[in-house]
Amino acid sequence: MAFYSNALNFPNLDVKATPTGADQIMIADAAAADKPKQALLSTLPFAPSSGAAVVNVTTATQALAKNTTYFVNYAGGACTLTLPAAATLAQGDFIRIRAGESATDPFVIAQNANQYIRVNSEVTTTGVGGTLTADEIFCNIDLECSSSAGGLAITAVATMGSFSGV
């Protein structure tokens, strides 16, 4: 089976820069001898979450919500961002944190009961005493719930800058 990397190989097809979950794609059904099959983009297991919110943080504390991107623009010291309660998170839920252009100090991610954050091989202390702190002003981090039984395990899937865990 051949895979093609650009629209030039398919001259009669349009290129869409911003696909949505309602878009249909063609896939090869391995269970049916690679017979072509249509599928909605939103039904694929790797489909991106739709409708993600964006929040501009300008206060000293911020409760985080799943499937949301936060731009931390607090200029009064370190901003504390608290993870959502474990019961509200499911495997695959994400939180993106970006240091905004107005930030003057790094941010701190606080945990709730029984939660921990994994960054590579390092793990924060489990529970409310555990935190993950950006070591520099303009750090970014993408977090994802990796626990199949609720939001206890939070994994950093991408970072820019360095972070210190307690």
**Smallest Cα–Cα separation from 63: which of 84, 49, 79?**
84
Report the C-alpha dihedral over residues 42, 44, 48, 52, rounded to 10 degrees: 40
Is 79 in the same domain as 142?
Answer: yes
Greater confidence, 90 or 26? Answer: 90
Q: Report the CATH number that the domain containing residue 137 is assigned in CATH.
A: 2.60.120.640
**Smallest Cα–Cα separation from 57: which of 37, 84, 93, 81?**
81
Report the predicted TM-score, pTM, of the whole model to 2 decimal places.
0.69
Is 31 in the same domain as 110?
Answer: no
Is 153 in the same domain as 74?
Answer: yes
Is 78 in the same domain as 135?
Answer: yes
Is 98 in the same domain as 38?
Answer: no
Is 21 in the same domain as 97?
Answer: no
pLDDT band at 21 (very low <50, low <70, confident <90, very high): low
The model's pLDDT over 109-164, given as tens digits with 9 standing for 90+, comes to 999 999 999 999 899 999 999 999 999 888 999 999 998 777 899 999 999 999 99
The predicted structure's pLDDT at residue 9: 47
The model's pLDDT over 33-84, given as tens digits with 9 standing for 90+, comes to 878 777 776 665 554 455 568 999 999 999 999 999 999 999 888 999 999 9
In a domain, 1, yes or no: no
Who contacts 133 (Cβ-Cβ below 8 Å, separation ≥6)?
A: 78, 106, 107, 108, 109, 163, 164, 165, 166
Who contacts 45 (Cβ-Cβ below 8 Å, separation ≥6)?
A: none
Q: At 63, is the secondary structure helix, strand, or coil?
A: strand
In a domain, 122, yes or no: yes
Is 84 in the same domain as 28?
Answer: no
Per the structure, the complete domain to which residue 32 belongs is given by 11-43
Is 64 in the same domain as 135?
Answer: yes
In a domain, 4, yes or no: no
Query: Total structural domains in the chain?
Result: 2
Is 88 in the same domain as 16?
Answer: no
β 122-123/116-119 pair status: antiparallel
Q: Are 39 and 45 in contact (CB under 8 A)?
A: no
Is 39 in the same domain as 95?
Answer: no
In a domain, 57, yes or no: yes
